[in-house]
Amino acid sequence: MELHVRGRKFLEGVRAITCYIVPLHAASQSQWAQLNLVQIMEYKVMDNETIGIFGGSGFYDFAEAGVEEIRVDTPYGPPSDKLARMTVAGRNVVFLPRHGHEHTIPPHRINFRANLWAMKELGVTRIIAPSAVGSLQPNIAPGDFVINDQFVDRTSGRIDTFFDGPVVTHVSTAEPYCPSLRALAIAAARQHGVTVHETGTAVTIQGPRFSTKAESRWFGSQGWSIVGMTQYPEVALARELAICYTAISLVTDYDTGVQIEGGTHVEVTDVMAVMRRNVATVKKVIRTMLEKAAPVRECVCAHALDHARM
């Protein structure tokens, strides 16, 4: 079944808020969206919280019953694909493949604002975001999981905020990842026998090219843990929407600047082979997280905008 959301009710499960997006020119449309965003943050989410998942097409078989596909229009253009609403482990889940169902959208072309806005619009309050990364440190091996606690932005030109005015807003990303979801991910990974690194700094590069050796060595020399192409601005936009967010970084290879015995430069075929092996494991980890997640979040992420507006 497919639904199409246009003039829409924000935050399914939120008390009596209906906002309609009118066809304005780009600047005014963004401002209108921001005013509605500020308004909806004042309302309390009820008990039927929905958890979002960003990932690949392999997650469609998560559903315990039928999958409801929903096409969502946003003020920022279309998301990467239709969103899939389903029930997993007794929880309401919304899934979106960030690269599109057929993996046709490269990292630097992802419409991150539309993806996050669409999630918020369907009532998502927490997001679990697995992604493939390269290791920047010899002790983080292919097949390991890293539960990020920090990021470094090395992208260029990506649109990375909802707040373009008229409400001037400065959201803190000092601790960008949800502490409750991170703890849940670490425990679930351990339960399934995964070698998991409980902290890690993720460097986001622009892509689609991989790093040079000089870049990779510099990243590693700073003590940063992993490198990928999708963490930023996804995590920062989630914080601007007061959505809890945790990344599960799936290490597929040693990045090109890491010195290991028998190491080679990065090839797409190598990355995909390890990624396929990781997918089955991360699905088990996420299912366990859904089973053990509290019905309603109690972390600080919901208050991200409390003191952020000028």
Number of separate helices (H) and strands (E) present in the chain: 6, 12
- Sequence-distant (6+) residues with CB within 8 A of 48 are 13, 92, 123
Asked if residue 308 belongs to a domain, the reply is no
Catalytic residues: 253, 255
Asked if residue 280 belongs to a domain, the reply is yes
Look at strands 196-197 and 145-146 and give their pairing.
Answer: parallel
**CA 213, 206, 141 angle in degrees (round to 5)?**
50
pLDDT at 66: 80
Closest CA to 3 of 127, 118, 116: 118
Residues of the chain with pLDDT under 70: 1-48, 56-58, 60, 63-64, 262-267, 271
Sign of torsion over alpha carbons 165, 169, 174, 179? negative
pLDDT at 121: 96
CB 133 within 8 A of CB 202: yes
Asked if residue 254 belongs to a domain, the reply is yes
- Exposure on the CB side of residue 125, measured as CA atoms within 13 A: 28
User: Over the Cα atoms of the chain, what is R_g?
Assistant: 19
Closest CA to 133 of 218, 213, 204: 204
* Number of Cβ atoms within 10 Å of the Cβ of 206: 15
pLDDT digits 0-9 by tens, 150-170: 999 999 999 999 999 898 999
pLDDT at 293: 94
pLDDT at 52: 97
pLDDT at 41: 46
Asked if residue 79 belongs to a domain, the reply is yes
Asked if residue 156 belongs to a domain, the reply is yes
pLDDT at 20: 33
Domain that holds residue 219: 2-303
CB 119 within 8 A of CB 95: no
CB 174 within 8 A of CB 149: no
CB 284 within 8 A of CB 146: no
- The number of distinct structural domains making up the chain is 1
Amino acid at 95: F
CB 166 within 8 A of CB 298: no
Asked if residue 310 belongs to a domain, the reply is no
The CATH number that applies at residue 251 is 3.40.50.1580
For 156, the token pair is: 């260029």
- Sequence-distant (6+) residues with CB within 8 A of 115 are 54, 79, 80, 96, 98, 234
**CA dist., res. 219 & res. 103, Å (int):** 27
